Amino acid sequence: MLDLTRAEIEAAVDLDRAFAALEDGFRAASAGRVQMPPVGYLGFPAHNGDCHIKFGHIADDPIFVVKIATGFYDNPAKGLPTTSGMMIALSAETGAVVAILRDEGWLTDLRTALAGAIATRAGMRADARRIGIVGAGTQARFQIRAAAHLLREREPRFAAWARSPERLEALRRDLAKDGIAVEPVADLEALCAQSDALITTTPAVEPVIRDEWIGPGLHITALGADAPGKQELETALVARADIRIADSLEQSLDHGEFAAAAAGGLIGRSDCVELGAVLAGQAPARRSDRDITIADLTGLAVQDIAIARVVLDGITR
């Protein structure tokens, strides 16, 4: 049995292989080849925390994966990271534990970022390169690094907005160390106006992106809404979009960014497509350069399986 620390895991990940594995995973999920039961949930309201347990198996894969991911939102005040957790890979042939991945939540951050870059590349115009990031937390950093890698051939230009100017400046400094220039933008409406694609990474429970700020041709990848009550985009904007892409139709319409519009009867299942179908060429991500396109990513167990496979392949390669 492998027992891997975060440092070993980080060293084992090859980004190009990881992107390919994630795309394969999304295609498998949309094709119905992935066993993904409902996500397990425990709440710890006394400590403003929760735990999500995701598990699944891709048909014919020799391993399956169980992921435990915690978020305790008062941790930063205690000097501790908000998120934590681990993944366990088991043999789908004998049930034995194959590997413990003590990633402390890093793989979740990474696979979320990879999915964001994949969805953004799929949805944005072919000539687009101006990417606006909304938020300045951990996931904002991960998204910029992932998009910088995946879109490197079109030389993407990054700008970012956050509620706190200090956190925005810290984001700029951190990315500069990685050699990635990020332009801080003080006004969110201005960021919307100057971007070809937006990636929203906030835990907002009230929409931060207003319908009237979004013009023709823009693509938005929304990551924040992963639980009931969370919403980053105005419902009218979701309803107005020309194409809506969800990692999982079921999750997105139930508790993701598309939930409010669905609950209001403005959109239905047939008004959305799945990312895996887009990546398989079965559904278009946009039909014209003037389409407004929105991708909503709620997070799938197949992403965890895919990224765990990349780590294990990286270790044994």
CB of 44 to its own copies, least distance (A): 5
CA distances from 149 to 80, 255, 262 (A): 29, 30, 34
DSSP structure string for 118-145: HHHHHHS-TT--EEEEE--SHHHHHHHH
Q: CB neighbours (10 Å) of residue 2?
A: 14
- Taking the complex as a whole, the smallest distance from the CB of residue 92 to its own copies amounts, in Å, to 5
**Shortest distance, position 75 Cβ to its own copies, whole Å:** 6
Nearer to its own copies, 5 or 164 (CB): 5
- Which of 54, 67, 78, 230 is an active site residue? 67
Residue placing its CB nearer to its own copies in the complex, 1 or 126: 1
- Contact assessment for residue 104 and residue 84, using Cβ atoms and an 8 Å cutoff: yes
What is d(CA 64, CA 285) in angstroms, rounded to the nearest whole number?
A: 30
Cβ at position 167, least distance to its own copies in Å? 22
Instruction: Quote the least distance from Cβ 126 to its own copies, whole Å.
Output: 40
Sign of the CA dihedral running 186, 189, 195, 199: positive
Residue 37 is given by DSSP the state P
Q: How far apart are CA 287 and CA 289, in angstroms?
A: 7
Four-CA torsion 103, 246, 278, 59, nearest 10 degrees: 50
Q: For residues 43 and 264, which CB has a smaller minimum distance to its own copies in the complex?
A: 43
Nearer to its own copies, 25 or 132 (CB): 25
Q: Is position 67 annotated as part of the catalytic site?
A: yes
Alpha carbons within 13 A on the beta-carbon side of 75: 12
- Chain mean position to CA 135: 14
Q: Under the rule (CB under 8 A), what is the footprint of its own copies? A: 1, 3, 35, 37, 40-44, 47, 49, 51, 53, 55-57, 64, 66, 68, 70-72, 75, 78, 80, 83-86, 88, 90, 92-97, 100, 102
Q: Specify the residue, 36 or 128, whose C-beta has the smaller distance to its own copies.
A: 36
CB of 224 to its own copies, least distance (A): 19
Compare residues 96 and 126 and give the one whose CB is closer to its own copies. Answer: 96
**Enzyme catalytic residues:** 67
